[in-house]
Chains A and B, each alone.
Chain A
Amino acid sequence: MMRSTGIAALLAGTMVVISLGAQAPQPPPAGGRGTGAGRGQTYPPPSRGGGGGGGAAGPADKPLVDFALADKGKDVWIAECVTCHGAQARGTDNGPNLLRSIVFLRDRYGSEIGPFLKKGHPTQSGKPAASLTDEQITNISHFLRKQLNDTLRGAAVFTVQDIRSGDAKAGAEYFNGAGKCATCHSVTGDLAGIAGKYETVDIQQRLLFPGGGRGRRGGPPPKSAVRVTVSGQDKGAGPVSGVLVYMDDFVVTLQDEAGVSRTFRRTPALKVQKTDPLDAHHALLETITDKNIHDLVAYLETLK
């Protein structure tokens, strides 16, 4: 397929830069996308977006970041650039936001910012920008690309901050009072030591959206399994109860106490009674306030 000349040129340009050798980053190992990115590793942009659409690493829209080179670039940045363009390259009153700069966004390992700087540009030290070496320019490019990637979903810095803002005492009152948590849970029983088991944000998520383990195949059904009782299926047949396997408008399938899977056609005569142990949690979503949530988290965080 013929490609547009612009993109072909861009590809060619990228190839040239990569062929320069030592500075060129290597594609990440399989499965190493984003999350394993530490110092000295390379990684493609972590987002699902333009830089991370799920394809193989390395095409024209996915310049990689070498963290070691980005660190070296940071040194140059602090020496020559930070005063005007800011620590994250997002600009200051004295200089523009480079992460929105077309020159930078087109750049591949110095391919654009190199010629731009060589033409002359103010620096903090006063030395000519044209005196920056190719290696320094490549390093600055890695530094800038890291700053850009840090704004994308999936970046290492793209994570929850300190969410502990609640009042543990008020949380205890809610737990034992309006929240009715104590109806099913015990801080000395199922919740004992929960603060040591989960990150704070996971505690918050679990109290709001429990049920992650429901429906696993094999083994006994979890306590949170939805149960159903069907009746009226045949004249003279009694109710049948079990763990819900599947239900839609037309059929209901349950696993009875003997472990047998039974499917019933949903007719007007068939009565289906569903019991979801998590109904109280679902109902809580309608009434719980953000303050209640944060207080509850603070209380649960005391359960070391």
Chain B
Amino acid sequence: MKRFACVLAASVGAAVLVSRAQGLDPARLLKPATDAWPTYNGDYSGRRFSTLTKINANNIGALSLAWVYRLNLGGGPVIGSSATIKATPLMIDGVLYFSTPDHAWAVDARTGREIWHYLWKASGGNHLANRGVAILGDRLYFETPDDNLVCLNIKDGTERWHKQVADLDQFYYGSVAPVIVKNHVIVGVSGDDLDIPGYLDARDPETGELQWRWYTVPQKKGDPGSESWPNEEMARHGGGMTWQPITYDPELNLIFVSTGNPQPVIAHKNRPGNNLFTASIVALNADTGKMVWYFQSSPHDTHDFDSTQPAVVFDGEINGRPRKLIAQAARNGHFFVLDRTDGKAIVSAEYVKTNWSLGYDEKGQPVPNPAKMPQVDGALVSPAAGGGVNWQPPTFSPATGLFYVPAARTFSVFYLYDQSENPQGWGGTDRGGYSESVVQAVDYKTGKLRWSHKWEGPARSGLLSTAGNLVFSAGPGNSLVALNATTGDALWHTRLTAAVSNGPITYELDGLQYIVVGASDMLWAFVMNKP
């Protein structure tokens, strides 16, 4: 491990700050840390739960603003979301690392002072979002809109190498936060305009070379899942992007990837069948990329529901027996708890009321209602394509046993535009909408709601839960809110200058607990100064 020390002098009237950064020891990825946030979800599980208690339900009223950082684009143009923080920052050795499309930054976690900024000059691509970076040792990895995996030195943000991981000509783009698993950089791909296959790559951390690739849809006749497509041509172009950073169980050595919608998205006449392995949770061997099991959250998806929500790993108790579990609140409005050793469903339930399915099949998967598939004259569907949840990550608290979902009760009308026998791309869409934002606290053992906190206006962000009996969430009016994790009561809020645009994180430095959240082009840090 390279070690270095750099002395950074703040400009005016500030004390000299000595920052010692040693990079990320891979062993730290295997145990939940309180002095770091070393992966997209804080750890491999996807729980976004912290054991820290210095900020808690009793003292939350004393939370103070620590610092604010506004993005410096370094002269780069504002394209799409390049000035919007949708990434979850990583925090290692007192430094925050995060990204937006074309950009990466290192910012002092104690002061908010920028340490370095890196600008990638993209040759195009979709700048819709960038979810963040991965770090291994003294190297940082992130994806670009034009399909490159870029490796930087965390010390100064200089580039070590970049490697093309997808094809811009096929309208793939890069938005996913890579995740480090052992000696693999796990890289997902984005894009659902053309009928192209999704895949998940494992890349060499030293070179970016491909180690293995798992296609989410069959690439030739006879591949697993082929029986769920009408022919090889449709399967090969069947979509299923890997938009969401993976979760991982080190003991089982399984990667859990959640996959996107099939293609064509809305007009589906030419893809009868369940369209495996789109809109699914899939367990892969981390070293080979071979599929171990799958569970399809949305068989034959016709609503752009995807299933690209985090599959959250935790151990629990079902009917008095300890179980290795994995849970997902899917975009389609359904909540699933599976045995993560075999993918068998234990709980299937709605976390918001829906109207598009006809109960569950023998595997616990929803059965789509053909009448609620997109129609020429319109079908009123709940949830809307935006979903009961979207990409914003949920949180699971082992302290309360509750799975918290940044949810919305939504409706829209799904129209079929392309009535031909061989549609492509989308071929339809949903229009209009009604939405009520709500945080749902789901009892993982039953799928029933323990509490529901309805917001008075639009509010949706990633969530964070802590052992301080708190859940942090966006609230209406550009606010950041702390809810009582046990009851859902709103305890504290502060108004930011824009809506929360990522998921909050927490860490402890110098004995102080911080909460950091992104809101448009600003990163806000709050700290509990009170002992």
Contact = CB atoms under 8 A, between A and B. Distances in A.
A259 interface: no
Given A11-B123, A54-B79, A158-B426, A282 B169 contact: no
B425 A294 contact: no
Interface string B144-183: 0110100000000001001010011111110000000000
B425 A152 contact: yes
Contacts, number: 190
Contacts of B159: 1-2
Given A53-B127, A99-B424, A205-B431, A248 B193 contact: no
B45 to A, nearest CB: 30
Chief secondary structure at chain B's binding surface: loop
Interface string A32-60: 00000000000000011111111110011
A50 B194 contact: yes
A109 B279 CA distance: 36
Interface of A: 1-4, 6-7, 10-11, 47-56, 59-62, 88, 90-91, 97, 99-100, 102, 105-106, 148, 151-153, 157-166, 201, 204-205, 208-209, 246-250, 282, 285, 288, 290, 293-294
| A-B pairs, 6 with minimum CB distance | A50-B171, A49-B193, A151-B425, A61-B124, A53-B126, A249-B490
Nearest to A147: B424
Interface stretch (B33-41, B131-139, B412-420): B412-420
A158 B148 CA distance: 31
A60 B168 CA distance: 9
B475 A1 contact: no
Contacts of A152: 193, 425-426
Contacts of B80: 53-55
B195 A100 contact: yes
Contact of A50 (B164, B168, B375, B426): B168
Nearest to B164: A4
Given A53-B145, A285-B434, A290-B371, 18 more contacts: A49-B193, A53-B79, A53-B127, A55-B77, A60-B124, A61-B125, A61-B171, A151-B194, A151-B418, A151-B427, A152-B426, A159-B417, A162-B376, A204-B413, A246-B457, A285-B382, A293-B380, A294-B377
Contacts of B172: 50
Interface residues of B, number: 71
A205 B125 contact: no
Contacts of A293: 378, 380
B143 to A, nearest CB: 14
A100 B237 contact: yes
B104 to A, nearest CB: 12
A7 B123 contact: yes
Nearest to B415: A160
A303 B83 CA distance: 48
B121 A50 contact: no
B408 to A, nearest CB: 13
Contact of B422 (A59, A91, A163, A201): A91
B320 to A, nearest CB: 38
B112 interface: no
B385 to A, nearest CB: 11
B193 A51 contact: yes
B378 A290 contact: yes
A209 B479 contact: no
A97 B123 contact: no
Contact of A62 (B124, B379, B382, B475): B124
Contacts of B171: 47, 49-51, 61
Contact of B380 (A47, A90, A162, A290): A290
A27 B461 CA distance: 37
Nearest to B236: A100
